[in-house]
Structure 1
Amino acid sequence: MRTVQREAIGWAALWGIVVLPLAATAAGGVSSLPVTAWLTAAAYLVVTTLLLMRGLRRDGAARFGPANAVTSLRSTLVGLITGLVVASFIAPVPIPLLVGLTVPALALDAVDGWVARRTRSTSELGARFDMEVDAFLLLVLSAYVARDLGLWVLTIGLLRYAFVAVGWMLPWFRARLPYRYWRKVVTAVAGIALALAAAGAPTPIAAGAVGVALALLLESFGRDTVWLVRQRAAGFSPTSGAAGEKASTRVRP
């Protein structure tokens, strides 16, 4: 188990060593970015690595796996994006750098799942890791875009966390949802729309794209909510029946 945890630390350190200098070079040197950006990125990497190690220990994982390594790379990119967004509230940040980090972070979302299937290393923890990186990226991008388009954009980033919060209060809301590939599609559309808006697209185009993404997310979450309510009415619970199997590892969106 300790070997797996060391692998998690090793991959996080490796991607940090590789990606951080590249980002600094692309930005024209460390001095071109506020210290806040680097401190936030470092804090994100530390916290996510600790949470990942906790998940590995809890699940008793035997190996870290190549798919988790890819997701770790995505997580490192998200950490840098987070740092840039936080710093943008203090001083201007390079938009090309922000977009240049966001595009591969979104593109790699299709890679880790493919690697997991090809290497037969799929796992509930890997799916959860991937989902959390997706959700946090949407939250950070929506916070950045909301400054120009309005606070309504934050709904995109907060929907998933509101869904989880309801589950804390209502145990039956944590029932395992049936798999729907549509959730991945909607998440990808939301990420692309936010990236387009962050890149400085004309306001009508940016608002239209983000509005469509929000509508799709509301439909997706709404459909899952209706399904959970119907399961509740039918007498299923998170701890019994098909609806409740492995409830704690439910994948959403």
Structure 2
Amino acid sequence: MADVAAAMAAFFVPGIWISDLTIPDVGPRALALAAGAAVAGRAAASILRRNPRLSTPADRVTLLRAVLTACCATVVVADLFAGSGPGVLLVLLGTTALLLDAVDGRVARSTGTASAAGSRLDTDTDGALVLVLSCAAAAAFGPWTLCTGLMYYAFLAGGWFRPSLREPLPPSSARKVIGAVQPSALLFALAPGVPPALGAVAAGLALVLLVASFGRDVVELERLRRRPPSGVAAGPGAAEAARM
């Protein structure tokens, strides 16, 4: 509870300052804060839903990443209402959140506290950062960049209709690399001074890689679902059983 409260406070203090500094109207200011609070609140809820309810040193690093991502969300909404393009603050906050992504996993392994719950929190925070950055990119390059940010959530939604999509995926170095490429490419595209054409190319290539990665994962999960259980003869009955 202390970690969750600290994380929410760590967002609201700079979040209120950012919104007050850039948005004069109360309504849009509240919307900017709500966008950031939704990001930080999702991470906090992930901790509070645990049983037992606890957080590890690695979770605290991930919560910090969620706070930075929440601040990015507030900045993006503030920029949209101000009619200004992405600025240095968004890139700095997003880059810091991205760099910390290499820290929480190492902390979890070094402290022996790696867990499935921590991995989900980490993945959710990654998805939130990419979504926020893709919203900023949409204002600069067009709504097609939203496909990058929404891909992860579409995959999660697909799991409600296709149980195979909820199964764990085998480890993949390519998936990790592509996962790091998405925010990196968007941050590059949003960086001040980058030519719009070059930024659009970077964001487009990242989207192509992401579509290929998710497509490969869906095929892999479907293939694993159809694989006969270990130790069972692969006959027609076994194949049908594997599909249940």
Tell me what 1:102 maps to. Answer: 94
CA distance in 2, matches of 1:208, 1:126: 34
Tell me what 2:216 maps to. Answer: 223
CA distance in 1, matches of 2:215, 2:8: 39
Tell me what 1:120 maps to. Answer: 112
Tell me what 1:142 maps to. Answer: 134
Tell me what 1:7 maps to. Answer: 2
Tell me what 2:35 maps to. Answer: 40
Deviation of 1:235 (Å)? 4.7
Deviation of 1:13 (Å)? 4.5
CA distance in 2, matches of 1:78, 1:161: 16
1:84 aligns with 2:79: no
CA contact (8 A) 1:8 1:53 kept: no
Identity %: 39
Q: RCO (CA 8 Å, sep 6+): is it higher in 1 or 2? A: 1
Amino acid at match of 1:52: I
Tell me what 1:243 maps to. Answer: none
Q: Structure 1 residues 52 and 92, CA, compared in 2 at 3 Å: closer, same or farther?
A: farther
Tell me what 1:167 maps to. Answer: 159
Structure 1 unaligned runs (5+)?
1-5, 237-253
Deviation of 1:39 (Å)? 4.4
- The alignment partner of 1:64 has SS state of coil
CA distance in 1, matches of 2:151, 2:113: 29
- The alignment partner of 1:195 has SS state of helix
CA contact (8 A) 1:15 1:72 kept: no
Return the TM-score normalized by structure 2. Answer: 0.81
Matches within 5 A, 1:18-29: 20=14, 24=17
1:50 aligns with 2:45: yes
Q: Give the count of matched residue pairs.
A: 221
Q: Which moved more, 1:45-54 or 1:206-215?
A: 45-54
The structure having more radius of gyration, on CA atoms, is 2
Deviation of 1:52 (Å)? 2.5
